[in-house]
Amino acid sequence: MHYELKDYIKPKTLEEALKLLHDYKGAAKIIAGGTVIHELSERNLLEGVEYFVDIENLGLNYVRIEKDGLHIGATTTFNQIVNNSLFTKPSYYALYLAAKGVSSYQVRNVATIGGSVCSSISFLDVPNALVALNAKAKLVSLNGERIENVENLFLGMLNPNISEDEILTEIILPLEETKTASYYMKLTERAFDYAIVSVGIKVKLNENGYVENIRTVFGNVQPTPYIENKVYEIAKGKYINEDLIKKIMEEIPSVEPIDSINASAWYKKKVLKVLFRDALKETLEMIS
Amino acid sequence: MSKKQIKLIVNGKEEIIEVNPYESLLKVLREYLGLTGAKRGCDYGGCGVCTVVVNGKAVYSCMYPAIKAEGKEITTVEGLYKNGKLHPVQKAFIDANTVQCGYSIPGAIMSAYALLLNNPNPSDEDIKEAFSGNLCRCSAGYYWPEAIKLAIKYMKQRES
Ligand SMILES: Cc1cc2nc3c(=O)[nH]c(=O)nc-3n(C[C@H](O)[C@H](O)[C@H](O)COP(=O)(O)OP(=O)(O)OC[C@H]3O[C@@H](n4cnc5c(N)ncnc54)[C@H](O)[C@@H]3O)c2cc1C
Ligand code: FES
């Protein structure tokens, strides 16, 4: 770790942090857990950055249930998610698995939920799980605030749809739902590797056990989380049995995957079908 | 590059040092404070030999900015040895034959120490998780879980 900064600033309030980002526009970069920042510095990807604004002390570390959903502060760490029993509930289980699947305990002690979204890296797990769960994000700047669906925050690799003077302050998940479960599964070469591909899924059945909604997200298939609408199109209103699963497997993915360093598009296409099947079965098991 | 003066609390002792704004805690511990227990391995979060404990949590000091650690309690392997006595976790690592080359041991000991600090009666799964970020290439890491069990025994003996 060696990068020439003019200063590393630790503001105490959100207002102070927003002002710094505004005043140093472009030259200031947010640092939360610093785990991706470290990687960016090692790879010389911090050009033009002269100041780090550390957002650890802004009071953004919380998990609370409110009327409109489950609010998770941006600097909540992966281990805080894993150790909070709220996230082992079926409605949120995909997020629990994504956070727990980050291989090193030490990384999970510092890596934050906000940092994972704002990195905009296709093979990270937590952002894909959040998209599967229909998460929203709150972004604040001196000009005001906006609430966005998490899937709208990615423009491409390392290119989040977040302006330099904005802070993502929290993630908002829908309230717990009945007859609902979610799951996250990734394929890696070895346990501590990043995902070759991943599947995030959330299923809601109606009282009679027919599909009311399914949301499926594929990770590392496109440069940004890919929402696979085909699954819902085929399964809508139906009862999920082996035949239906086979039918879905024939139709997915509905997009040509990108090649990546650890796997070809051809391989990803084949393996995604199986990963999807297994994730769907796990999800359904949690509902029944 | 402008240096910054910071105050760190390392193994209970206050240290005032000048650091570059973005410098790793690992570098500061090893090169400024002479605490060479934490090792430098991969430098990117892949091995765990740099593990130290910050405010009760195991972290990779290779990617933890020193300035971030200001005002927090930092414990390194040097801080476990007190009044001429090994910490129960250290003794357990020796007695359970966990050491071949030894390079990964200070990091593994700090992960073990953090685990028992937060969870005095860990399950086998908890133990596996706690070591998920520490590698050992000699395969003596196979005995780390056993060392945890031994350490729990030593701690109980110490209390009674
Ligand atoms: C060894 C290792 C293994 C890993 N394995 C996995 C894995 O298996 N799965 C996985 O999903 N991830 C993995 N990660 C990546 C992990 O997701 C990220 O490290 C983490 O979530 C980023 O959070 P951070 O707080 O450290 O971000 P930082 O490094 O602090 O920031 C990342 C980026 O987001 C910006 N940013 C941070 N917070 C905000 C905010 N609130 N508002 C606006 N911008 C912000 C920063 O400016 C920076 O550009 C791994 C990382 C390491 C080092
Ligand atoms: S030196 Fe390898 S994880 Fe820090």
What is the complex's ipTM, to 2 decimals? 0.96
A182 pLDDT exceeds 80?
yes
Cα-Cα end-to-end distance for chain B:
54
Nearest to B59 among A56, A103, A110 (CB): A110
Cα-Cα end-to-end distance for chain A:
49
DSSP label at A48?
A: T
Answer yes or no: CATH 3.10.20.30 is held by domain B4-79: yes
| Residue B141 near chain A (CB below 8 Å) | no
For chain B, the domains span 4-79, 80-159
Instruction: Report helix, strand and coil shares of chain B as percent, to nearest 5.
Output: 40, 20, 40
CATH topology of domain A63-173: 3.30.465
- Per-residue model confidence as pLDDT tens digits over A24-40: 988 999 999 999 999 99
pTM above 0.90, yes or no: yes
pLDDT band of residue B1 (cuts 50, 70, 90) is low
- To the nearest whole Å, the CA of B98 is away from the closest chain A CA by 20
Q: For ligand 2, what atom is nearest to the CA of residue B61?
A: 4
d(Cα A45, Cα A57) in Å, to the nearest integer? 26
Contacts of B62 in chain A (CB under 8 A): 1, 38
Q: Which ligand is nearest to the CA of B107?
A: 2
SS (H, E, C) A99-152: HHCCCCHHHHHHCEHHHHHHHCCCCCHHHHHHHHCCCEEEEEECCEEEEEEHHH
pLDDT band of residue A103 (cuts 50, 70, 90) is confident
- Per-residue model confidence as pLDDT tens digits over B8-66: 999 999 999 999 999 999 999 999 999 999 999 999 999 999 999 999 999 999 999 99
For chain A, the domains span 7-54, 63-173, 180-287
Query: A170 versus A189: which is more confidently predicted?
Result: A170
Contacts of A6 in chain B (CB under 8 A): 1-2, 21
pLDDT band of residue B139 (cuts 50, 70, 90) is confident
For residue B108 and ligand 2, the question of a CB distance below 6 A is answered with no
Chain A CA closest to residue B25? A1
Query: B112 versus A26: which is more confidently predicted?
Result: B112
- To the nearest whole Å, the CA of B121 is away from the closest chain A CA by 16
Instruction: Specify whether the CB–CB gap between A94 and A112 falls below 8 A.
Output: no
d(Cα A237, Cα A248) in Å, to the nearest integer? 14
For residue B110 and ligand 2, the question of a CB distance below 6 A is answered with no
CATH topology of domain A7-54: 3.30.43
What is the distance of C-alpha B4 from the center of its chain? Answer: 25
Answer yes or no: CATH 3.40.50.150 is held by domain A180-287: no
A81 pLDDT exceeds 70?
yes
Answer yes or no: CATH 2.30.30.30 is held by domain B80-159: no
